[in-house]
């Protein structure tokens, strides 16, 4: 049988979501036979799947399509917005091409038809996990790039603040820093000062509203 390409030191974390108790139990028993895989959460509907994903951050979701309160596709849409690095296998009792196309269009990686075998489940997991790893690798790279850019902007901002530059380049640097929700107050103050000097009242008003919203949170 195919084995998920995961490190033996790190178990692949799976969340099961199905409204049928017997299916949840059988799926958990199947997963228990796969090396380096563990079930970290079990949900009875899509809403619980969303909440438990926030709590446990699994690597892969096994979501039934038809569930009360929230169906599997809706649940995955919500989960993917907040956790784009979580893989998903949709499970359905019927092979409906329209549903399959919809699932794939929102980023679902695999589709299993009930009843499925241990081999089919294992193969699906083995296919999904490398994609999860690739997404996470790209996210790490993007965050590293963002931090480097942020450090460079702060270096420029320090120089511009010391020399009291108010030209277009200074505005560009401070405005880019201000886009960060965690932007330091001193950069916002420098930007506000530049707006005053340049008499850019419209931008100053927008900046003041942004600062006000931030202080209210």
Largest CA distance in the chain: 70
Q: What's the number of domains the chain is made of?
A: 2
Same domain flag for 168 and 92: no
pLDDT for res 217: 62
Residues of the chain with pLDDT under 70: 1-9, 217
Q: Is 148 inside any structural domain?
A: no
Q: Is 171 inside any structural domain?
A: yes
pLDDT for res 214: 77
Same domain flag for 72 and 174: no
pLDDT for res 178: 93
Q: Is 78 inside any structural domain?
A: yes
Q: What tokens were used for 16? A: 């099961």
Same domain flag for 32 and 117: yes
Residue 43 pairs with which residues in a beta bridge? 17
Domain harbouring 88, CATH code? 3.40.50.2300
Same domain flag for 42 and 103: yes
pLDDT for res 6: 45
Same domain flag for 40 and 122: yes
Same domain flag for 42 and 130: yes
Instruction: State the residue range of the domain holding 33.
Output: 12-140
pLDDT for res 8: 46
Nearest to 86 by CA among 142, 20, 132, 28: 132
């Amino acid at each position: 049988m195919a084995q998920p390409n995961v490190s033996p030191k790190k178990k692949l974390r799976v969340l099961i979501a199905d409204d049928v108790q017997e299916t949840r139990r059988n799926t958990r028993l199947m997963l228990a036979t796969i090396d380096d895989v563990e079930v970290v959460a079990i949900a009875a509907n899509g809403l619980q799947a969303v909440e438990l994903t926030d709590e446990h951050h699994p690597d892969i979701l096994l979501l039934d399509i038809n569930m009360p309160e929230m169906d599997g596709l809706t649940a995955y849409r919500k989960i993917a917005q907040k956790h784009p690095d979580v893989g998903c296998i949709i499970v359905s009792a019927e092979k409906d091409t329209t549903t399959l196309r919809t699932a794939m269009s929102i980023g679902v990686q695999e589709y299993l038809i009930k009843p499925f075998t241990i081999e089919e489940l294992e193969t699906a997991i083995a296919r999904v996990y490398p994609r999860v790893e690739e997404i996470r690798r790209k996210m790490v790279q993007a965050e590293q790039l963002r931090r480097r850019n942020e450090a460079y902007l702060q270096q420029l901002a320090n120089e511009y603040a010391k020399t009291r530059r108010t030209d277009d380049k200074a505005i560009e640097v401070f405005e880019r820093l201000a886009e960060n929700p965690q932007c330091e107050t001193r950069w916002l103050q420098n930007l506000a000062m530049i707006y005053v000097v340049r008499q850019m009242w419209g931008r100053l008003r927008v900046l003041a509203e942004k600062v006000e919203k931030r202080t209210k949170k």
